[in-house]
Every structure is written in C-alpha cells, then in structure tokens.
Structure 1
Amino acid sequence: MTPHVRPSQPRQPQEPVRQENLRTLNLELVFRHIVAAAGPISRTELAAVTGLTRPTITRIAEELLAGQLITEAGLTHSGRAGRPRVGLTLSEKGPAGLGLDIRADGLAACVVDLTGTVRHLAFAPSAYSGRGAPDVLGHLAGMAGAAIEAIAAEDLTVVTATLAVPGPVSGGVVRSAPALGWRNVDAGALLRAATRHLDLPITVENEANLAALGELYAGGNSLDSFVYVSGGLGIGAGIVLDGHLMRGARGWSGELGHVTVHPDGKPCPCGSRGCLQTYASLAAILDDEPAPRAATPEAAITARAEAGTPATLAALDSAGTALGVALSGMLNILDIDTVLLGGSFSLLASWLTMNAKAELDQRVLTAAWAPVTIRPALLGPDAAVIGAALTSIDQIRQHPTAWLTRQVTV
C-alpha cells in the first residue's frame, strides 16, 4: 500500500547559480567531508569523493587553512601504491562554540573547539529562590565573559552561544519553567543585553534537547535512537530517533515531567495534578527538607541515601516507580529500547534504576522479547552545557563561510 504523502507546494522559481554561490557550495561540500572523515583526509581523496577538480580542491584547502578551520596533519595512506599524501583535518584553533546552562545546583559554561573537544568548563553554585531572570542571566553573562577571555589565550574565538533552559522555548522566550518561576521570559533578549559588550549571537534551547544532542555528538554511546531523561530543576526528555532529535511541531516535545502518573495526585506548579515532577524531581525527593548549607541537592540526597535514611530511600523508590510509569507510555509509542538517565539523575541512577526498570519490564509491550536498557548517560550533569556548546560550533561546521567572511572583515 502506498503511504499517503502530503502534496508538495509549487516549486518556486530559482535564481541561477552564480559564480560566488558555486564557490560557497563547493567550499561547504569539501569542508563537510573533512568534518565527517574518521581521520585526516588528503586532497586527492577529497577530489575523488566530491567530484571536484584537483585545482579546485587545492584552492579551497588553502582558503580553509588560512581561516584556521583546518590544519595539515601528517601523512595519509590510501592503500594504493605511491607516496603518502598530506592529510587535512579540523583545526583546534580558530572558531569555538559557547554553551551556557541553568541547572539544579548552579550555572555552567563550556567552550568546545571545531573538533568537539571541551576546552573550558566552569561551574558556579547558585540558588534560584527569590532571584529574578535578569539576576540569573546577568550572572551567566559574567561566566560567558570569563570563558571567552580564558580561551582567547589558546587562539580560539567564540562565534556564537547557546543557552540551555529547563522548559519549552519559542523564539528565545522561555514559555514555562515552573522550577525557576519563569513564564514567558525572553531569556534570549535578557542575555543578549547582559552580554552586549561581547557582541555575541545567542540562541536559547530546551536543556533536555541539548543534553540529548550532547550524548549523540559525543559518539561514545554508539546509539542512534534513545530517550535522554534530564532530572534536575525539572524533568525533561530529549528524544533521538535514527540519529535525529525529535523536536515536535513547535519544538516543545519531551516535557516528560508533566506526564500524569497519578490523575488525582499532588498539585504541580504547572497547574495540573499528579505530574511526574511532583514525585521524581529533586525537590520532591528532598520532600521539603532543605539541603545542608553549601551542599547541592544531589549531594544531600546521596548522603542521606547512603546513610540509610528511611524517608529518603522511600522517596527514591517512589521516584523510580513514577519515572518508569511515565517512560513506559513514551516507549510504547516510540519503539525505542534505550533510556539514558542524565542531569542530576545520572548521579542518583543507582537508586532510581531498579524500580524504573521493573515498571518498564511490566508496562512496555515489547519488553518480554526486546528488553529495555536504562542506564546513566555518559556525560553526566554536564551533558546539557556540552550539548549547548556543540550546537553552537555546529553552526560553523555547517556554514564555514560565515567564519571566513568574518575573518576577512575583521
């Protein structure tokens, strides 16, 4: 049976490909092959895979080298007879991406270079009670400035920044972040105003989505389909299917924390009742018992659990069960068999996993013959800020001419 396909829109008249456009297309084609290569790739190999002439490859390579986007890295062996050839690979100098994150225990800033290597990672403990968005974002602006100054000494230039926030985002506006007390906060505008002196383009994205991308980009998972669960100020999910992040029709997918697990349960700050967040967030596990002074919520929960505190152990059991109930519905719909526990949940996984797995085994229809795996994420609590930085630098990976044009005009 032929699947239903939405009729395509009439094709718009296209402008002819001008010489300058062709040069840009060829440059970006070559650069993407260098980005995707498992190791250094020679000019001859680039000519073969792109179909471009050797003189064109040579011109593009010189332009990329001059712009510090690539570097020559030793010799390559194609397996054929003949002399080894000089390889080209991504540069560790030049453009860099900045990630900023608002998380349960404080604020974080991260810088990565073109290779995806973390070159700067900073954390500042912070409490949000009674603090407005301008105050929080002003503090982050200070961390952004410090990060930019620190990596400038390594011949790196931050080209753009991405802010991770615990809630749905539209056009830089945080529509709802109950854990922060934010509703319809234009975080993008506030942060741009606070960093005006840095002249830095800034985008805002949901932290669970960015954390999922961080895990995907990190590459160590060998996974192309998984659900990343971020636990901290709130509970969100980043859904990766066949190597692509599922954002939803408006970019608001993954609000796992507001899936109902008990229809007549506890009231939630979102206005509903019985949301997962009211049973499995850090605040719910602490159960109104504040963390000791100078201790993070995760550290307080861990210390009490390791000490065998009955109330904390019971709260963790309840959180794991509620998490499994919420996830089972998602996995039944999506047919995904791997769950990564990230954010603060990565530090509490040893107490959450057993009950969550029991619910998944019972409630996921296919679990009997295709077991579901649930485990801590590789990047731990830093996944969102690393994912934000990687998302920032990916803009240069996709469109290197923006950086090259900037180099010419500076």
Structure 2
Amino acid sequence: MTETPRSPVQHNGIRHVDTRTASQTGMRRQNLAVVLGTVAAHAELSRADVAGHTGLTRAAVSSLVDELIAAELVREGPMTSSGRAGRPGRTLALNDSGPAGFGLEIGVGHLGACVVDLRGEVRVWRRVERANAHRDPANVLAALADLAAAARSEAELLGLRPQSPMLSVPGLPGPGMLTHAPNLGWHDVPIATLWPGPDTPTLENEANLGALAELWAAHAPTNFLHVSAEAGIGAALIIDGRLYRGSRGYAGELGHMPVHPNGPRCTCGSRGCLELYANQEAVLHAAGLPEPTATDPVTALTDHIRAEHPGALDAIERAGDALGIALAGAIGLFDPAAVILGGAYAELGPWLLPRIRSQLETRLTVRPFDPETVTASPLGRRGPILGAALHTIQRILRNPASLG
C-alpha cells in the first residue's frame, strides 16, 4: 500500500506541517542548485559526469536535469562518449535562451538597460546619454521605462525571458524608494509608485553593483575594495565574497573622506572631502574644461590628457594624489587583497594609477604593501549595470526553484 503525503492539520487552532515533506522539498531545491552549479562550472558534462561530480545517484541527477531542462535553465547538446562502459550521454550546458538577467541604470548623465543570459553573456545593451540631474523623477523614470521596454522586446526576439529588473542608482536606496541621491538632486523619491511600466525594479546602489560585477564577471579576489566615480565617488568592500554594507547600510562613503582637512567646504558640510579633488566635475573644472554637452565628459578629459594639455595633466595628477591619500586610510583599516578602480576611474587608470601607487608607497609603511594590487577594472563603466543584470543570474544559480 502506497503512503499518501500528509497534509497540514489543525490542533488547537495551530497549523502543523509535515516536516518530512518540507525537508524533502528543501533537499530537492538544494540538489537542483547543486546540479545547476555543476553544469555552470564545467563544460560539456553528461548526466553521468554530473553524478560523479556531485555524489548524487544517476537516477536523481536524471530527474533533476529533466526539471532544469523544463525550466529552460539547461539544454542538452550532442551525444558524447565518456570513455566508460555504457551508452554515450548527451552533453549539458546552461541554456543561452530562456530566463535572463535584466539590469537598468540611472546615471547623472545617462540611462541604460542590459540583458544577460545564464552564462553571463551580454545579449542586449542600450545606453542613452541624457542629463538627469535635477530633472523631474517621473520624467526620468518614464524615459527609462521606454528604454527598458525596447531592451525587453529585443531580448524576447533572441528567445530570452528577462526576469524582473534590478535598477542601479547613484544614491542610497530603500524599499521601493530612492532615499538620498545628492548628485541627482533627488530625495525620498518613491520609485515603486512612479514607475510607469510592468515589473517594478528592485533598487541597489551603483558602487555596490559595480563591486559585485567585479566578483562575478571579472573574477576579482574574494576580498577587495572597489572604488568608482561619476558625478560622485563611491566605494564598496567585498569580504569573503560578500558585500559589506555596514550596520545601517551606509558603508562605502569614500567620497566624503577628508583628504585635506583645511580644504574648501564640501556640499556635505565638511571640508577637504575627496570629491572636491577627484570627482568628475572637480577634475574637469581643475583641467579648465567646461562640462561638455555633446561629448562624454570622460572622453573629453582623456582626449585632453593624451594631447598633453597642461591643465588636464595637472588635474589628473591632483586627483590621483587625493585618491592615494584616501585609499591609504582604507587599505590600512581593511587590509584588502586588492583595490579595483571602476567607473570613470577605470578609463583614467593609466594616468591615475602612478600617482595613487606613489602615495600608497609613501604612506603605507607599517606593513608590506604591493602597489601592483591597485588596478583598473576591465569592465570600465559597465560595472554597475552588469552587476544589476548578473544579480538575477546569481539568484537563479543559487536557487533554481525561485523561478517557480
């Protein structure tokens, strides 16, 4: 006689769930993630290979693989011989269609949308240069929703199913709200209420997402400090492969670390903050360059540096010195394995890095320090939006059952 699963029952008004059923469900979800992670980590595995890597039985692996194929997370390839006795098996790989990560971005000077497949490959990329600072948030979100809709349509033509998006923002997010974004001039903006399209995005800070992109896409070490810049300067600390947020979520405010305590007054109220010397506006002003309207500011600056414009060279050296001073304190406190320059700093790395490293060699004298561990990101300015799109992929890989 086959035992039927037990259903929840009531005792004294309290609902009791059969813990054996819950345990079996949890174990199956865990095994789904193990199998999917094994397929993601290796090329051209058969079901028998997956069983060998995971220690699960072939029957269990076969059932789990069928479930992952039905969810369009895994696809089967051609037959292959493993060299062992028995019939050949089909190779398994992450599906290059089906569920996909969807990242959106609001920058001070641009909007962006990005779709990546389960392998982390960028399949759709859209960026529009647009001045967003001090604009009506509803107007900016309407433009971003249009860009998101166009990116989603393009992805669907490729056979992809973008999941709910994550939105990279240059400020401090809260639940459904952008609490504080001084470089946009926005405060307490209810993104969830104002969003005009379907699938209201989840918000995350751009510096945090840039750091996570380094971890997931650029294979950074599991302990590093990520520093990036656009209109402001943000930092994010990865410890043992996890993002460190601080006790209240405010970790990473490197831009308002004083580097010259008697320097000019900052918009934050303090004096001599790093942003006064090393953010985009400060460097352009020091270089004697107006904020360009048609040309990307970073491109304009690099063009002047390559032309050996004296003002541009002096400005970038001043920024590098200020960054070196700020980073010396951060490195001394946290002892990261590496420091990675992202955002605009990644493109300005050839000129910033010598000054930063020189400052660090001078100031970090208590313990050994290798200045070569300070590098420019290979992701350039794409980090935050890539991190937003890859965040969904990581969630799926960790918990395939979350797709429902």
Q: State the match for 2:174 in structure 1.
A: 170
Alpha-carbon deviation of 1:319? Answer: 0.8
Alpha-carbon distance between aligned partners in 1 of 2:146 and 2:338, rounded to the nearest angstrom: 38
Q: State the match for 2:163 in structure 1.
A: 159
Q: State the match for 1:3 in structure 2.
A: none
Q: State the match for 1:24 in structure 2.
A: 29
Amino acid at match of 2:172: P
TM-align CA RMSD: 2.4
Structure 1 pair 353/20, CA: closer, same or farther in 2 (3 Å)? closer
- Does the aligned pair in 2 maintain the 1:172–1:205 contact within 8 Å? no
Alpha-carbon distance between aligned partners in 2 of 1:30 and 1:233, rounded to the nearest angstrom: 43
Q: State the match for 1:246 in structure 2.
A: 244
Q: State the match for 2:206 in structure 1.
A: 207
Structure 1 pair 79/218, CA: closer, same or farther in 2 (3 Å)? farther
1:240-296 Cα offsets, whole Å, 9 max, x none, are: 233222222233211111111122222222232221111100000111842333011
Alpha-carbon distance between aligned partners in 1 of 2:156 and 2:217, rounded to the nearest angstrom: 24
Alpha-carbon deviation of 1:304? Answer: 2.5
- Indicate the SS of the match to 2:163: strand
- Does the aligned pair in 1 maintain the 2:101–2:390 contact within 8 Å? yes
Alpha-carbon distance between aligned partners in 2 of 1:74 and 1:138, rounded to the nearest angstrom: 45
Structure 1 pair 346/20, CA: closer, same or farther in 2 (3 Å)? closer
Query: Larger Rg: 1 or 2?
Result: 2
1:36-82 Cα offsets, whole Å, 9 max, x none, are: x2223222233344443322222221121122110113456656566
Alpha-carbon distance between aligned partners in 1 of 2:154 and 2:378, rounded to the nearest angstrom: 26
Alpha-carbon deviation of 1:297? Answer: 1.2
Structure 1 pair 238/270, CA: closer, same or farther in 2 (3 Å)? same
Alpha-carbon deviation of 1:230? Answer: 0.8
Q: State the match for 2:296 in structure 1.
A: 296
- Does the aligned pair in 2 maintain the 1:233–1:282 contact within 8 Å? yes
Q: Between the two proteins, what is the percent identity of the paired residues? A: 40
1:237 aligned onto 2:242: no
1:276 aligned onto 2:274: yes
Aligned length: 385
Alpha-carbon distance between aligned partners in 2 of 1:129 and 1:168, rounded to the nearest angstrom: 15
1:118-176 Cα offsets, whole Å, 9 max, x none, are: 00111100112441222222221111111100010011111121111122223243332
Q: State the match for 1:328 in structure 2.
A: 328
Alpha-carbon distance between aligned partners in 2 of 1:370 and 1:349, rounded to the nearest angstrom: 17
Q: State the match for 2:215 in structure 1.
A: 216
Amino acid at match of 1:359: Q
Alpha-carbon deviation of 1:185? Answer: 2.5
Q: State the match for 1:70 in structure 2.
A: 74
Alpha-carbon deviation of 1:396? Answer: 1.9
- After TM superposition, the structure 1 = structure 2 runs for residues 245-394 of structure 1, keeping only pairs within 5 Å, are 245-287=243-285, 289-365=289-365, 368=368, 370-394=370-394
- Indicate the SS of the match to 2:20: coil
- Does the aligned pair in 2 maintain the 1:346–1:377 contact within 8 Å? yes
Q: State the match for 2:196 in structure 1.
A: 194
Amino acid at match of 1:114: L
- Does the aligned pair in 2 maintain the 1:337–1:372 contact within 8 Å? no
What stretches of structure 1 of length at least 5 have no aligned partner? 1-12, 406-410
- Does the aligned pair in 2 maintain the 1:188–1:204 contact within 8 Å? no
Structure 1 pair 78/273, CA: closer, same or farther in 2 (3 Å)? farther
Structure 1 pair 81/362, CA: closer, same or farther in 2 (3 Å)? farther
Alpha-carbon deviation of 1:357? Answer: 1.1
Structure 1 pair 358/72, CA: closer, same or farther in 2 (3 Å)? same
- After TM superposition, the structure 1 = structure 2 runs for residues 119-138 of structure 1, keeping only pairs within 5 Å, are 119-138=123-142
Alpha-carbon distance between aligned partners in 1 of 2:396 and 2:369, rounded to the nearest angstrom: 43
1:348-370 Cα offsets, whole Å, 9 max, x none, are: 11221121111111112356454
Alpha-carbon distance between aligned partners in 1 of 2:92 and 2:361, rounded to the nearest angstrom: 48
Alpha-carbon distance between aligned partners in 1 of 2:260 and 2:104, rounded to the nearest angstrom: 34
Alpha-carbon distance between aligned partners in 2 of 1:141 and 1:377, rounded to the nearest angstrom: 29
- Indicate the SS of the match to 1:17: helix
- Does the aligned pair in 2 maintain the 1:159–1:201 contact within 8 Å? no
- After TM superposition, the structure 1 = structure 2 runs for residues 3-22 of structure 1, keeping only pairs within 5 Å, are 16-18=19-21, 19-22=24-27
Structure 1 pair 61/369, CA: closer, same or farther in 2 (3 Å)? closer
Structure 1 pair 98/358, CA: closer, same or farther in 2 (3 Å)? same
**1:52 corresponds to which of 56, 67, 78:** 56
- Does the aligned pair in 2 maintain the 1:169–1:251 contact within 8 Å? no
Amino acid at match of 1:251: G
What stretches of structure 2 of length at least 5 have no aligned partner? 1-15
Amino acid at match of 1:62: D
Alpha-carbon distance between aligned partners in 1 of 2:369 and 2:117, rounded to the nearest angstrom: 43
Alpha-carbon deviation of 1:15? Answer: 6.2
Q: State the match for 2:96 in structure 1.
A: 92
Alpha-carbon distance between aligned partners in 2 of 1:248 and 1:73, rounded to the nearest angstrom: 45
Structure 1 pair 337/51, CA: closer, same or farther in 2 (3 Å)? closer
Amino acid at match of 1:16: T
Structure 1 pair 249/38, CA: closer, same or farther in 2 (3 Å)? farther
Alpha-carbon deviation of 1:211? Answer: 0.8
